[in-house]
Structure 1
Amino acid sequence: MPGTERSLTLRFLAEPADVNFGGKVHGGAVMKWIDLSAYGCAAGWSGKYCITAYVGGMHFVKPILVGNIVEVEAKVIYTGKSSMHIRILVRAGDPKSSERELCTHCIAVMVAMDENGKPSSVPDWVPQTEQDKRQRDSALKLMAMREQIRDEMTTYLD
C-alpha cells in the first residue's frame, strides 16, 4: 500500500564482474546499485513507476571488495508534490561477519510518474523522530543548494 514502505535494503555479494582495474568494485557498479535501491524505495513509497531526477552528494568513503556482502539502504527523508528525496547508505563487509562499514553515501531524488509519463502526486511523508526532522531539514537545504548549483552550471552549457 502506498505511503507505508519508507525504506528498502538490498543485500547481495559483490561479484568479480563488478571489479575495476584497481581490483576493487567499480564506482559505476556502486552507482547502479544506488539507482536500483532508490527506485525500489520510491516505487514502494509511491506505489508508482518512478524516474531518477537527481543523484548527488555522492561520497566514496571506503572501497568495496569482490566477495563482500553489500547492503544498500534507501530511505525516504522528504516528499514533495511528486518527488521523493531518498537517503542512500552503502555498507559492505566480510560475509562471515555481521559487521558492515560505510562505503558510500548520497541523496537521490526520484519522481513518480503516471501512465502518460507525467509527474504524479506521492503520499506525504511526515517526520516522526528528531532524526527524521534533521534529515528532512537537510533535504530542504540541499534543494536550495541544488538550485544555486543549477543556475551556476548554466555557464557550462554554452
Structure 2
Amino acid sequence: MSSPQRDIVLRFLAEPLDVNFGGKVHGGAVMKWIDLAAYACATGWSGRYCVTAYAGGIRFVSPIHVGSLVEVDAKVIYTGKSSMHIALEVSACDPKSLNKRLTTHCIVVMVAVDEHGQAVRIPEWIPETEKDKQQNETARKLMEMRKTIGDEMQIFVEEKED
C-alpha cells in the first residue's frame, strides 16, 4: 500500500448555476465544495470510504464571483482512531490574473467507515513541523470546545415520545 496522502487541492471555475440572488456564489455551493475536498482528503489519508461527522467554524471572508478560478485546499491536521480533522481554505481569483484571495475557511471532521457504516481504524498522523504542531494543537482545543457547545445545545434537542 502506498503512503497516505495528507492534502489535496481541488480547482475549478465557479459556474453561473452557483450564483445567489446577490450575483455572487452562494454559501451552499461553497459548503458543497468544502465537503467534496474534505472527503477526497480523508479518503486519501485513510484509504477508506469516509463520512462527514462535523463541519464548523465556517468563515465566509469574501465573496466568490461567477467565472472565478476556485481552489479548495484540504489538509489533515489531526487524526483520532477513525476520525480526521481536515483544515480547509477556499481561495478564488480571476483566471486571467491568478491573484488568489482567501474567501472561506473551516474545519471538517471526517470518519472512516466500513461497508456496514461502522467506524474503522485509520493511520495516525504525527505532526513534524512547527506549523503542523500548532494546527494539531488547535484541532485538539476545538474538540474540547465542541464538547462544551454540544452540551449547551442539548436544550434545543427535542425528546421524542415513544
CA offset digits 1:52-99 (Å, max 9, x no partner): 000000000000000000000000000000000000000001001221
Structure 1 residue 148 and structure 2 residue 148: aligned?
yes
Matched AA of 1:50: C
TM-score (norm 2): 0.95
Contact 2:4 2:47 in 1 (8 A): no
Q: 2:50 aligns to what?
A: 50
Count of residues in Structure 1 that have an aligned counterpart in Structure 2: 158
> Which portions of structure 1, spanning 4 or more consecutive aligned residues, are displaced by more than 3 angstroms?
none
Q: 1:39 aligns to what?
A: 39
Q: 1:86 aligns to what?
A: 86
d(CA) in 1 for partners of 2:115 and 2:13?
35
Q: 2:22 aligns to what?
A: 22
Structure 1 spans left out of the alignment, 5+ residues:
none
TM-score (norm 1): 0.98
Q: 1:98 aligns to what?
A: 98
Q: Secondary structure at the match of 1:96?
A: coil
d(CA) in 2 for partners of 1:72 and 1:125?
21
State the shift of 1:156 in Å: 0.7
Please tell me the root mean square deviation across aligned C-alpha atoms, in Å.
0.9
**Within 5 Å, which residues of 2 pair with 1:109-128?**
109-128=109-128
Contact 1:78 1:85 in 2 (8 A): yes
d(CA) in 1 for partners of 2:74 and 2:2?
16
Q: Which has the larger radius of gyration?
A: 2
